[in-house]
Amino acid sequence: MEKKEPKVVVNHLTKKFGDLLVLDDLNFEVSEGEFLCIVGPTGCGKTTFLNSLTRLYEPTAGEILVNGIPVDPKKQNISYIFQEYSSFPWLTVEQNVRFGLDIKRVPKAEADASVEEMLDIVGLTKFRNYYPSQLSISMLQRVAIARAFATKPELLLMDEPYGQLDIDLRFKLEDELLKLWQRTGTTVLFITHNIEEAVYLSQNIMVLTNKPTSVKTVIPNPLPLPRDVMSQEFVDLRNQVTDLIKWW
């Protein structure tokens, strides 16, 4: 298989808060269209890394390149799905999904088609005129996912978006996320503390060390989609990742 060009290149990324070293010389590449899950010990700096990608935090040293140029969310089409539910309470479901398209001044016909496609994939067509206060937690996350994918982002950053959901809802939303990823070809960086989730979703799994955080290893995930969490291959890969996080 022909190797794809790197979408994201991280060179010697280092982040300090005063004298506290959090990120210590991170180096890796993410290919165009790759689904990368990032795991590591609790409190190791996963969210600090993602916030550096969005420039909420300025790196102390090193560089982050997207398509060969320094990352700049103001100039590049980058979407971010937070742990918290981030729908606009004064807008309907449809208006929330359309929000980014309107900001980017996408032509109405194109925006209409994108909104309809996203609402259909995440199962919210019948709820298009509802407001966030009328929705369940899982529906709120579907709105956030649909809004993020509607703009066809170059890069989608996700920070433990399903951490507060029970297992049945989590698997359903993970399946919807995979459908959107496969349809759009978006490059996804997905942070999770749940190793089973990482194995279920990823093409590659990046394991981080404890603080000061560096890249311990990147493990390819060759399991075919859709994945069976009860298969021996799935269990073996989950255990491999678990052991890498457990022993330091």
In angstroms, the CA 58 to CA 208 distance is: 20
Q: What is the pLDDT of residues 98-136, one digit of tens each?
A: 999 998 889 999 999 999 999 998 889 999 999 999 998
pLDDT of 165 higher than 80: no
For residue 87, the SS3 value is coil
What percentage of the chain carries pLDDT values higher than 90?
59
Query: Band of the pLDDT at 95, cuts 50, 70, 90?
Result: very high
Q: Do residues 195 and 242 lie in contact, with contact meaning Cβ atoms separated by under 8 Å?
A: yes
pLDDT of 235 higher than 90: yes
Q: Which of 56-65, 70-79, 195-204 has the lowest mean pLDDT?
A: 70-79
What percentage of the chain carries pLDDT values higher than 70?
96
Architecture category of domain 6-77+154-246 in CATH = 3-Layer(aba) Sandwich (3.40)
DSSP 2: P
pLDDT of 86 higher than 80: no
Q: Considering the chain, what is the average pLDDT of its residues?
A: 89
Show me where the domains of the chain are located: 6-77+154-246, 90-152
pLDDT of 2 higher than 60: no
Token reading at 64: 């982050």
Global confidence as pTM: 0.90
Q: What is the pLDDT, as a whole number, of residue 1? A: 40
Q: What is the pLDDT, as a whole number, of residue 75? A: 82
Q: What is the pLDDT of residues 5-52, one digit of tens each?
A: 678 999 999 999 999 999 999 999 999 999 999 998 877 788 888 888
pLDDT of 83 higher than 80: no
What average pLDDT does the segment 156-176 reach? 83
Q: Do residues 248 and 44 lie in contact, with contact meaning Cβ atoms separated by under 8 Å?
A: no
- At 22, which helix (H) or strand (E)? strand 20-31
Token reading at 226: 């859709």
pLDDT of 141 higher than 90: no
Nearest to 30 by CA among 57, 49, 55: 49
